[in-house]
């Protein structure tokens, strides 16, 4: 007999992310390797003493790491992506019923920290992953980023072609002798 699955929302769930994310999952392994509690001390001076609580710096840097690993450059897409993945929610320390930080909060927090903090975190995360055996030396990749050139405007020169386009095309075109003397293209009548 043919079965038919009908979806019905449950009012109460008995659900644990820790039971759903397998032990060999990359983000679960990363969760067990990374101890980012040092971030509270490293970033303390960048926060005020009063006002609304900001995003947890550990969660923020984990979100940055997920964005890098998943090749997601938009904060809005990053939050949407993380909300759909159980393993990433587990890595971030969020339950399936918890709202992730707003994308604008992530953008503002990114502007809060200087480049030196990001470099220090990257170096520490990389070191922890190497020490845990998650990084091996047999494969190497190089990543690039667009960087504005620092060229002087005075050194720029206008480049002019040595000959006109049609003359050049006649010279290089060897289809037939008739084409050498006539224009490359004729207009329709």
102-106, 127-131, 157-161: range with lowest mean pLDDT: 157-161
Task: Give residue 183's pLDDT.
Answer: 57
d(CA 172, CA 131): 61
pTM, full prediction: 0.66
Q: What is the mean pLDDT of the chain?
A: 82
Task: Give residue 186's pLDDT.
Answer: 58
Task: Give residue 181's pLDDT.
Answer: 58
Tens-digit pLDDT profile for residues 94-110: 988 889 999 999 999 99
Mean pLDDT for 12-36 is 87
Task: Give residue 15's pLDDT.
Answer: 77
Q: For residues 154 and 68, which has the higher predicted lDDT (pLDDT)?
A: 68
Say if residue 184's pLDDT is above 60. Answer: no
Tens-digit pLDDT profile for residues 40-72: 999 888 888 887 888 899 999 999 999 999 999
d(CA 61, CA 132): 19
Ranges of H-type helices in 34-176: 39-43, 57-69, 75-84, 86-92, 103-112, 115-131, 165-172
CB atoms within 10 A of CB 54: 16
Task: Give residue 17's pLDDT.
Answer: 83
Ranges of H-type helices in 70-114: 75-84, 86-92, 103-112
Taking the domains of the chain in order of start, what are their residue ranges?
Answer: 17-41+54-132
Mean pLDDT for 73-93 is 94
């Amino acid at each position: 007999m043919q079965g038919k699955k009908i979806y019905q929302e449950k009012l109460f769930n008995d659900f644990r992310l820790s039971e759903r994310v397998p032990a060999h999952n990359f983000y679960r392994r990363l969760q067990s390797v990374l101890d980012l509690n040092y971030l509270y001390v490293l970033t303390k001076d960048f926060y005020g003493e009063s006002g609304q609580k900001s995003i947890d710096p550990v969660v923020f840097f984990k979100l940055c790491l997920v964005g890098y690993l998943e090749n997601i450059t938009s904060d809005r897409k990053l939050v949407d992506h993380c909300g759909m993945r159980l393993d990433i929610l587990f890595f971030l320390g969020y339950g399936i019923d918890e709202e992730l930080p707003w994308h604008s909060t992530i953008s503002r927090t990114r502007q809060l920290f200087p480049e030196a903090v990001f470099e220090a975190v990257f170096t520490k995360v990389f070191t922890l992953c190497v020490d845990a055996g998650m990084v091996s030396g047999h494969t190497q990749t190089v990543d690039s980023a667009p960087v504005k050139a620092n060229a002087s405007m005075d050194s720029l020169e206008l480049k002019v072609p040595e000959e006109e386009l049609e003359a050049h095309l006649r010279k290089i075109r060897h289809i037939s002798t008739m084409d050498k003397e006539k224009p490359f293209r004729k207009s329709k009548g």
